[in-house]
Structure 1
């Protein structure tokens, strides 16, 4: 399983994202975020095209990643839980609910890259 795209979003606003390959993941991620917000379920798995999008939704924040293989169900939960734990421990996180900044995006691009 290869994680090719991941992001953290507040509602439909993406706070940080990283794509490891070229592609238009933002359009598919926007669709997934709309579905996640409508369902408001803690976890969601959605296939769009040849990619599978896994999400974790906690307190209005969505942690999302896309993979090229939907068969693995353990790695998604581990990755999403790890990233959400790091995000909630970040001192800037409470302000980010209202004011997304480039500082957070840069910090979390590095964190996403490390764990992807």
Structure 2
């Protein structure tokens, strides 16, 4: 006895299938699924052509396999039970994976929040340092004028420093206090 085809279906929709040998199993599987749904029994055995189709119906899911020997019913039954058992095992694996994905997601969200907080703080600091653009422009313009103002002040001090003694000398010369 060889299991040549197997599938898992929800109603008439085949969710997954595997054919170990060449052949057109899809049409026969569709007929078997239709008949199994009409019978609504937990297990059915239907022969189509040279293949015997065994089904197991649990919780709305149909497990189906095709064999080339109609006399053996134990091996296909065990195979279908194993398919159903693996589904329950995969639920546990799936829930574990979902839990891990949820944990990773929460860690990533915390990391993103931390990065956004740091970026917000950086933007706030830059904004405070930049201040008002108009004020910054005026400060730049004033800083350009500072050397001119400083030069003019220095020039006034030099002129005043030279003018006062020169005036005193001229006054003293004109008053003939200093002999010429």
Relative to the length of structure 2, the TM-score reads 0.50
Q: What is aligned with 1:58?
A: 58
Q: Partners of 1:18 and 1:87 in 2: how far apart?
A: 16
Q: Which aligned runs of 4 or more in structure 1 are off by greater than 6 angstroms?
A: none
Larger Cα Rg: Structure 1 or Structure 2?
Answer: 2
Which is bigger in relative contact order (C-alpha 8 A, separation at least 6)?
A: 1
Superposed CA offset, 1:32-91 (max 9, x none): 000111111000000000100000000110000001001011111110001101113323
Q: What is aligned with 1:47?
A: 47
**Richer in helix (by share):** 2
Q: Partners of 1:39 and 1:82 in 2: how far apart?
A: 23
Q: Partners of 2:11 and 2:44 in 1: how far apart?
A: 15
* Structure 1 spans left out of the alignment, 5+ residues: 94-116
Q: Partners of 2:22 and 2:74 in 1: how far apart?
A: 26
**Richer in strand (by share):** 1
Q: Partners of 2:5 and 2:11 in 1: how far apart?
A: 18
How many correspondences in the alignment? Answer: 93
